[in-house]
Amino acid sequence: MIVIGAGFAGLCAIHQLRAAGFSVRAFEAGPDVGGTWFWNRYPGARCDVESADYSYSFDPELEQEWTWTERFSAQPEILAYLRHVADRFDLRRHIEFGTRVTAARYDGQQARWQVTTDSGVQATGRFCFLATGSLSVPQLPALPGLADFAGAIHHTCAWPAEGVPFRGRRVGVIGTGSSGVQLIPVLAEQAAQLTAFQRTPAFSVPARNRRLTQDEVRDLKQGYRRRRALARGSPGGIARPPVDRSAHADTAAERRAHFEARWRVGGTPSITGAYSDLLLDAEANRWAADFVRDKIRARVTSPEVAAKLIPSGFPIGTKRVCADAGYYEAYNRPNVTLVDLRATPVLAATASGLRTTAGHHDLDVLICATGFDAFTGAVFAIDIRDAAGRALREHWAAGPRTYLGLATAGFPNLFTITGPGSPSVLTNMVASIEQQVDWLVGYLRALRAGGQRETVATETAEAQWGARLAAAAQRTLYPQAASWYNGANTPGKPRQFMVFLGGLANYARICDDLARDGYRGFRAR
Ligand SMILES: Cc1cc2nc3c(=O)[nH]c(=O)nc-3n(C[C@H](O)[C@H](O)[C@H](O)COP(=O)(O)OP(=O)(O)OC[C@H]3O[C@@H](n4cnc5c(N)ncnc54)[C@H](O)[C@@H]3O)c2cc1C
């Protein structure tokens, strides 16, 4: 088995494949394990799914010995956890670090993948797992003159391990999505002057992060089995009871009280998960959006600044909802300025800052919190070719085509973990990763037992899955937003909704039914 990537997905795959008796060779471009949590070290980086859910369930002893200290752990703690997992289960010996896979070619006669790396190492394996991350290739702003900027430039996902000094400096942050929203309040307390350059305001709700008490940690450890079962049976892979009440079933006053109660609890699903139809019904969605808009007005002192921060033009939840700790309040500080790039676009970077149509902003440091070339970025960075030499990039030229988000017709023995077409980023990713890895390992065991060495998704299965994906998206409000879920943030990318919206539990049921039906949709030999 070849595994590419050593984040949550790669580590899980190595562990489970090895446990099933397969030999594994893994490659990781970075110098250590961790993936997202190795690269995104910006101040304020933390998960927005509760750590108790955003963690592996495969080993009860691991659950008991690891103690999460916060409701939403910060990047250093999650990285420490993944390092602990790698050491505890002796996974590092399978991984070649600092080694980027540049090409993968299928040998049809041998039924093997041959991979080439940037260090000159070549390897072959019967099966190849792309655990390369849905959000691992940075999206940089196309700013003229960026190379002329004399100060330091950092992308939030390529943050220097030694940190960046901000005290007494003039800092610009481009981008106000999840990373910008986490970073800005922290920087506001350190920088002499902070300028946030915003193109599209995001909806953000309070995370209400806090340290877990000893009692909570004890209860969590005692309740893990129940919690995991609840998470696995839920659409989002998180241990919250399902909500099946329509927003139309309540009066305006009842809705307001319900939103208020959930607002006090905090977290990304607090508002968009308050009713079952908030992402299906435009009017219901507007009630939720207006509630959050009112909250933004209340949190920001200046009505002019609040007006710029209030999202409009897309339904709440159809672009990623952020979870913050004092994001809007940061704009009440005298050292923080908001620049609305829709009103005053950036013209160019200069040696000393950024010039917009309204004037020049002097900066010592520029931070790009501009997100990722999502889903396909890391896949296309590898020159993947089938036995006839046809590139995966060509097969996906009009948008990614997969069966279950796991496999692609014409590319045997190649699997994408949380790939395009799976529930992935609209669920707790760790729960999705474990579900997909476990299912695939089950399939590989079945193939081995049957003496089969090759499997490929059929064209029909792939086409039917694509149609199902598109139909699921069309039933919701998601297509109304230009988002990274549908490729809109990356210039030149075909617009296609890339997430399966049926939810994790439903997806797992579909996968299990197919398995019982002889792994329908795959052709094996
Ligand atoms: C700031 C931030 C916060 C997030 N918070 C949450 C959250 O709260 N909940 C949630 O569910 N999800 C969250 N996510 C999504 C997160 O990416 C996933 O939860 C999860 O970490 C993905 O794990 P992965 O192993 O699939 O990918 P990654 O963690 O991205 O790991 C992929 C690894 O593959 C390596 N790689 C890529 N290409 C190659 C190559 N060609 N050769 C060798 N190595 C390669 C990369 O270096 C990387 O280390 C967050 C993402 C970000 C950026």
Nearest atom within ligand 1 for CA of residue 372? 53
The pLDDT value recorded for residue 239 is 92
The pLDDT value recorded for residue 142 is 86
Alpha-carbon torsion, ordered 269, 270, 275, 281, to 10 deg = -60
Secondary structure letter of residue 274 according to DSSP: S
Cα–Cα dist 205/294, whole Å: 12
The pLDDT value recorded for residue 319 is 96
Ligand 1 centroid to Cα of residue 282, in Å, is: 32
Hey, which of 132, 155, 183, 484 would you mutate to test ligand 1's pocket, going by the most ligand atoms within 8 Å of its Cβ? 132
Hey, which of 95, 113, 135 would you mutate to test ligand 1's pocket, going by the most ligand atoms within 8 Å of its Cβ? 135
Ligand 1 centroid to Cα of residue 391, in Å, is: 24
| Long-range contacts, 14-17 (Cβ 8 Å, 24+) | 14/91, 14/94, 14/95, 15/58, 15/85, 15/89, 15/91, 16/58, 16/437, 16/438, 16/441, 17/129, 17/441, 17/444
Under a CB-based contact definition with an 8 Å cutoff, are residues 363 and 354 in contact?
A: yes
> Cβ atoms within 10 A of the Cβ of 257, count?
12
Cα–Cα dist 427/238, whole Å: 8
- The string of pLDDT tens digits covering residues 11-28 is 999 999 999 999 999 999
The pLDDT value recorded for residue 491 is 86
Nearest atom within ligand 1 for CA of residue 48? 8
| Lookup: tokens for 513 | 């039914």
| Lookup: tokens for 360 | 């020049």
Positions in the chain whose pLDDT score sits under 70? none
Cα–Cα dist 519/524, whole Å: 9
Which residue has the least CA distance to atom 35 on ligand 1? 5
| Lookup: tokens for 137 | 């290739």
The pLDDT value recorded for residue 395 is 96
Ligand 1 centroid to Cα of residue 418, in Å, is: 10
- The set of residues, in sequence order, having a beta carbon less than 8 Å from that of 90 and lying 6+ positions away, is none
Cα–Cα dist 205/173, whole Å: 20
Ligand 1 centroid to Cα of residue 136, in Å, is: 6
The pLDDT value recorded for residue 240 is 87
Decide: pTM greater than 0.85: yes
Q: What are the pocket residues of ligand 1 if the criterion is a CB atom closer than 6 Å to any ligand atom? A: 4-10, 27-30, 35-36, 38, 40, 45, 47-49, 54, 100-101, 131-133, 135-136, 157, 179, 378, 381-382, 417-418, 428-429
The pLDDT value recorded for residue 483 is 92
- The string of pLDDT tens digits covering residues 29-72 is 999 999 999 999 999 999 999 999 999 999 999 999 999 999 99
Strands (DSSP E) along 319-405, which ranges?
A: 322-324, 336-340, 346-350, 353-356, 359-362, 365-368, 383-385
Q: Say how many residues make up the chain.
A: 525
251: helix, strand or coil: coil
The pLDDT value recorded for residue 436 is 98
